[in-house]
Each structure stands twice: as C-alpha cells, then as structure tokens.
Amino acid sequence: MERHGSPALSDVSVVWFRDDLRIADNPALTAALNRGSSVLALYVLDEESPAIRPLGGASRWWLHESLLSLEQSLAELNISLVLRKGAAGSVVPDVVRDLGASSLFWNRRYGAGEIAVDAELKQRLRGEGVHIESFQASLLFEPWTIRTGQGSPYSVFTPFWRACRSKADALRLPLPTPPRCNLLAPALGSEDITTWALQPTDPDWAEGLRQTWTPGEARAHERLHEFLEEDLEIYSVGRDVPAEHATSGLSPHLRWGELSAHQVWHEVQQIRAHLSPVASEGATKFLTEIGWREFAWHVLFHFPNLSESNWRAEFNEFPWRRVHPDELVAWQRGATGYPLVDAGMRELWNTGTMHNRVRMVAASFLTKNLLIDWRVGEQWFWDTLVDADQASNPFNWQWVAGSGVDAAPYFRVFNPELQAKKFDPQESYIRHHIPEWGSGRYPQPIVALDESRRAALAAYQSVKRQGS
C-alpha cells in the first residue's frame, strides 16, 4: 500500500513521547513493544502549534535533562530516541512517512490545544492507513469519567475526590519495565538537543537547579521510596513546616511523567497495612494531594482557558491595581520586606521550587496585599517552577486569588508575619534563604499589611456584591 509516494507501510511502530518521560508504566510504549515490531521513540519540541503554551525557563532546563535520561533508558531497550522541533501536526506525520511506519502510539493529553493536535493527527494518519492507539497514563481518572449526579463536572474538591475514591478499586496496576526490543528500527536522523538551547548560558542561572534536582525516571523512584520510608509518617503535620523538608519532592517528576500517578497510588496502598496510625494519616493526606492534582486537570479539561480567564465571571470586574514595576520586581526578587514571602521567592529562583505553604503566602501577598492580577504571578511561576504544568499552576493561583473553583474565601488573606510565627518559629527556613535577615541590609516592607488587607477586602466585597 503506497501513501503519497512514500515507502510501503512497514512493521515499525512509533511511540510519541510527551509528558510521559519514562519506560515503566508507559502504556503506549508497552503496547508498541507488544506488537512484536521494531519500535522508534519520538519527542517533538512543539513551540509553534496554536494554543500550546511554550515552556518556561526552568521547565526547559528540566526537559533537557529528562530527555537525556530517557534516551539512556530507551537505549537499554534497544530503542532509539529521535528528537525533532516544530509543529507536531507536521513533524509527526513526516516521521511516520519517512519510516513507512505501520503504527503510532501515544499517551493522552488533556489541554485543549494538545487535544486538538492529537485529534487532527489521529484522523489524518488513520486515513493514510496508519494504526493509531492512545492510552491513559498521566492521571488516575480521566476528566470526562468523573461527573456529578447531574452529569456535570465538579467544581468542589471534596465531593470530586470522594467520587474518585469510590472508583479506586478499578484502577489498573502499574505496568512493569518492558523487555528489550529484539528488532532495531530503521535509522532516522535526530536533532542535537543542544541546538534547542533549553539550558541557560548567558547568564547561566541554573546552578541552583542542578544542585537541587536530578531529573529522570531513576531518581523519581528513588525519591518516592525515600519519601515513603522517611517522611510519610510526619507528612500530615510536617508538610506545613517549610524547614522540615517533609514534602514528597515528587511534583516535577509527576509533571514530566518520570513517575506515574498509578505508580505512586499503588506504592502507597501496598504499605498502608503496615503503617502506624500517624503514618496512615500521612498517607491519606498525601494521596489527597494527588487528588488535588487530578482535580486541577479535571477543571482545566472543562475550562480550557484556565491560565487566561477567571473561572468565576464576576472577577472579570475585579479592581486590580495597575502594576507598579518596583513592587513587582521586589516580589519576584524576594525583597518585599516580609521574610517568609522573600524566603519563598528566593527559594523559587534558586531551586525552581517553593514549599507549598509558602507558595500560598507568596501568592496571597501578590494578589491581596499588592492587588496585582493573579495572571502576573501565574506567569512568573510558569517561568520559574520546574513543576509548572498548565493545570495546577493557574488552578492554584485562581484558588488563592478567589477567582477559581472551590476557591479560598475572599476574606482569607494570609498574613506573612503570622504565618512565619506559626510555621517557621525558629526562623530556620527564613535564615536559610535570606542570609542578611536581621541585619541592616534587609529591605523595609514595601506595603503595610493592615492597610493593604483593608483595601483587598473592600475590593473583594465589591466583587461579592456584583456576584450576588
């Protein structure tokens, strides 16, 4: 069978990797290998397709390192990883045609732009005789499978997660690392990843990222086991104390699919029967955080413009202040004069992450004390977080701002001084990230907390009245 002058379809399968940079529990890869044909792996850096958001700087650094790790893992399976840059709608068919491949496999994505690309590709290539299959891999529950009794999507987390848990017994078991492929796919040119300029060079601001993280599937599993053995027992309490380092540290590994939610879920379930009551409480809380991630994707699927538009329409009239560049830069650089906020923002810049409790405080300070539009903060986090994904990042910003689903009450303004006294009473976290704290070199507060809180409450009251 000839296609547009291309070679006849051959027994080659292409696995298109996206946010699933692992070989274990990768349904698309396993299905391709089960066909018994030769397999070629493909990754496309798509910065051209409409509605697909270009990666931020910290994410680009992580991607570079993770792809190098994936390339090594695939080589052990006798599979080559081909790198291409361009619009996926053009690049993927070109690779399939160049190989004369008979099959194409991928794991599903849930952003509107990505869905549009995948749907168009599936229709076009199936029309050319290519066998295509897609799989559930990154979420425990696909967004359209969880509905209210009325058949609508959920907008409150607690009933959403209750509905998810009621279906948990049907979750599939994680797939093992697949066996080595006996057949080598035909050679196909791959781009040099260094030409993609994913890593910063002038200046090289990624030294703190390199010291903090080791991207890749192997490290993801190491970190999961470390967390379960060392930190799970104190998680329910320690997760709120930034100096404790009691959080899982798995979010970037999950974001890039170096570890799957199914793997995490089943690893926790396997050890639950042997846990103390305190550790069991930690396990429940930790899995609830996995559920929060699921909820973010559920909301994004049903509200695709989550990073651009207020979920609550009444917030379209919110009286955000005009951005004062000096205030914004002070927040970004960790120089607001409020040490818990500043410690978090410096941690973010140096390491590509920020403790979850401090993220809420820093986001509240920007949106409520400075009255700066949440989208400004979301964009900064998008550029500086190694775990920034298109669901959780805007979802959490809208939660803090009050414009999203199941949002924090409008009157909840995190006081950074009280939060520091409660969660960092010894100032261990603050002093670690702000060496000049307590000296005359530390900046004065850029805004008064009481006055700015009153202004925020007045602004939120006006929106509340409009909503009513």
User: Which residues are the active-site residues?
Assistant: 289, 292, 320, 356, 374, 397
DSSP state of 288: H
Cis ω before 435 (30° cut-off from 0) = no
Longest dimension (CA), the chain: 77
- Euclidean distance between CA atoms 385 and 388, whole angstroms: 5
Q: Helix or strand or coil: residue 12? A: strand
Distance between CA atoms of residues 141 and 31, nearest Å: 20
User: Rounded to an integer, what distance in angstroms lies between the CA atom of residue 89 and that of residue 389?
Assistant: 22
- Alpha-carbon span 380 to 398, nearest angstrom: 14
Handedness of CA 185, 186, 187, 193 (dihedral sign): negative
Token pair in block for residue 347: 């941690």
Beta carbons of 70 and 46 less than 8 angstroms apart: no
CA torsion sign for 239, 173, 218, 70 is: negative
Contact (CB, 8 A) for 428 and 243:
yes
Closest to 112 (Cα-Cα) out of 51, 163, 59, 158: 51
- Count of CB atoms situated within 10 Å of the CB of 333: 13
Residue type present at position 325:
P
What does the block give as tokens for 25?
């529990």
Helix/strand/coil for 14: strand
Q: Which H or E run contains 82? A: strand 80-85
Chain centre to alpha carbon of residue 295: 13
Put residue 447 in one of left, alpha, beta given phi > 0 → left and psi -120 to 50 → alpha: beta
**How many degrees, rounded to 5, is the angle at CA 358 between CA 159 and CA 265?**
45
Q: How far apart are CA 111 and CA 109, in angstroms?
A: 6
* Structure tokens, 356: 């979850």
